[in-house]
Amino acid sequence: MDAVSDFLRTYSTTIAVIGVSALLALSVWLTLYAGQLTLGNAAFMGVGAYVSALLGRHLDTPFPVALLIGSVAAAALALPLGSIVFRLRGVYLAIATLAFGEIVRVVLLATPITGRGQGLNGIPPKTELWHIYLSVLVVAYVLWRVQGSTIGRAWAAIREDEIASASQGIAVGRHKLAAFVIGALIAGWAGGLSAHVTFSIDPSDFGFTKAVQVLVFAVVGGTPNVLGPILGAGLLTALPELLRPLKDYRDIFQGAILLLVIIYLPRGLVTFVDVRRTRRLSRIGALDVA
């Protein structure tokens, strides 16, 4: 037990960041599952982080209430934004949501109450590990259940072919907007949890780099099911720590691992078992033919 306690004490921040990253990856997975490439979730994370942190610092708002208000604020921003940007598709949609993220960053830099470039410091340390991982479990379970529901099947159909989906009576616009808003809600919740772990936030934490990083978590992990983004977030967040003994060569090995995953598991880590089974069946089939 002492060894476990020492481990948790030493790596508690890393373990917490892995959980927050998993939540963010799930938020992006949702829009990817609906066939939409968006890069605005880092901005929604920032909205949730700042709103919950400001409520906790200045109004002594109870922690769960501050988290909820922060995530709802992110979803409230996503609703009108999604109504506008979902007229676009593909890379244009990604650019539009990325531009929204830059607007949020500039607003945070220009607003005195947010601390401008210095950010917010002294945020109450209220987030505990069980808060983060309970959130991951609940979100993953709900998304897993939704995946097999009517709305989940509608998202999958939209991903495959929007025109065919519309011809079958699926309200494409409403379903895409729902995925976007729910994703923003999850990202805002993750931002609130993160703010109360790190005790300090600034606008650069929620910029372009973060947006791309979260997207990579989901893509490397895989989009076929909710386990993929969790695996991707866990691996890519822990990898720098695992490769720390390599010192200056750490980035090289990290890049090589990512390259291997992309080449040999193009649909993500979660498909590893399926790929092995397919290759085994192919070998058996070749032997039977021979």
DSSP result, 75-135: HHHHHHHHHHHTTS-HHHHHHHHHHHHHHHHHHHHH-GGGTGGG-EE-------HHHHHHH
pLDDT band at 10, cuts 50/70/90?
low
Domain boundaries, the chain: 2-242, 251-290
Neighbours of 136 (CB within 10 A): 22
Element (H, E) at 167: helix 162-167
Determine whether 36 is exposed, middle or buried from the number of CB atoms within 10 Å of its CB (0-12, 13-18, 19+).
buried
Distance (Å, rounded) from C-alpha 39 to C-alpha 92?
11
Residues 239-285 pLDDT 10s: 777 777 766 666 677 677 777 777 777 777 777 765 555 555 455 55
The 10s digit of each residue's pLDDT in 36-86 is 888 889 999 999 999 999 998 888 889 999 999 999 999 999 999 988 888
CA-CA distances (angstroms) from residue 107 to 11, 69, 205, 214?
34, 19, 14, 22
pTM of model > 0.75: yes
Query: How buried is residue 130: exposed, middle or buried, by Cβ count under 10 Å (0-12/13-18/19+)?
Result: exposed
Cβ neighbors of 254 (< 8 A, separation 6 or more) are 239, 240, 243
- The angle at the Cα of 262, spanning 258 to 265, to the nearest 5 degrees, equals 120
- DSSP one-letter code for 139: H
In the chain, how long is the greatest CA-to-CA distance?
75
How do residues 107-157 score in pLDDT, each as one tens digit?
888 888 888 878 888 888 888 889 999 999 999 999 999 988 889 899 989
